[in-house]
Amino acid sequence: MVFYLMLFNMSVLSQTIIVNKANSVDGLSKAELHNIYLGNTSTWGNSKQIIIVDYIADNELRKNFSKDYLDLSPKRVSMIWIKASLSGKTVPPKVFHTEDEIIRFVSENEGAIGYLSKPRELPESLKIIRVR
């Protein structure tokens, strides 16, 4: 019983990472995702600018993502983003309220990366990538 509860919690906490279909990346390691979302990596392997897409700071999904992948709270991550973008290292991240807004933005921008709460039917312009 405890085992199944733990498994349920793990599946609730894991997020579905999405990128534009034109992006050649099929998977990322947890470390690579960590470096992308903290602004340490600013371009994809094909030299296109990475556009980080995220939710507003008090969104529960963002809190879980920050805990799972970044080991920092959303507010701390926001300060790191401010530093990275004002220094010229990265472009400022795009922040939205809902999954639909994120889906729309990522499908329209080749360099964008975002995440959803769970797998769902997506437009053809998007794809889900695995996290190793």
Partner 1 sequence: MFKRISIPYILVIFILSQSFQLMAQGRQYTLYGYGQVDFSASSRKGSTSGFDQRRINFIGEFFPAEQMRVLTDIEYEGGTNIDAGNSSYSGAVKISRVWLEYTVMPELKIRAGKMLTAFGLYNLIHDASASYFPLEAPIMYSMFSFSPNLKPQRLYSKYHIGIELLGTFDLDDTGSQLEYSVGIGNGRGAKADGTDINNGRSFYSRMIYRPSILSGLQIGSSFYYDRNYEGLGGIQNDLEYTYAFDLQYENNSFQFQTEGLITNYKTIDNTRQSTGVWYAQLVYNMFDVLSPYINYSAILFDIKNSEHGFSRTNLGINWSVSPYLYLKSEIQFHDAEEVLGDESFNVYKISAAFAF
Please state, in angstroms and rounded to a whole number, the distance separating the CA atoms of residues 73 and 42. Answer: 21
> Contact 103/19 with Cβ under 8 angstroms?
no
Binding segment (CB under 8 A) for partner 1, from list 18-26, 69-77, 98-106, 123-131: 69-77
Query: In the numeric block, which tokens belong to residue 103?
Result: 């889906």
Binding segment (CB under 8 A) for partner 1, from list 13-21, 66-74, 96-104, 115-123: 66-74
Question: Does residue number 31 form part of the binding site for partner 1 (CB under 8 A)?
Answer: yes
91: Cβ–Cβ under 8 A, 6 or more apart, which residues?
A: 42, 49, 51, 85
Q: Which of 44, 25, 9 is nearest to 131 (CA)?
A: 25
Among 79, 118, 120, 130, binds partner 1 (CB under 8 A): 79
Question: Does residue number 64 form part of the binding site for partner 1 (CB under 8 A)?
Answer: no
Interacting residues with partner 1 (CB under 8 A): 29, 31-32, 34-35, 40-45, 47-49, 57, 71-76, 78-79, 82-83, 85-89, 91-92, 109
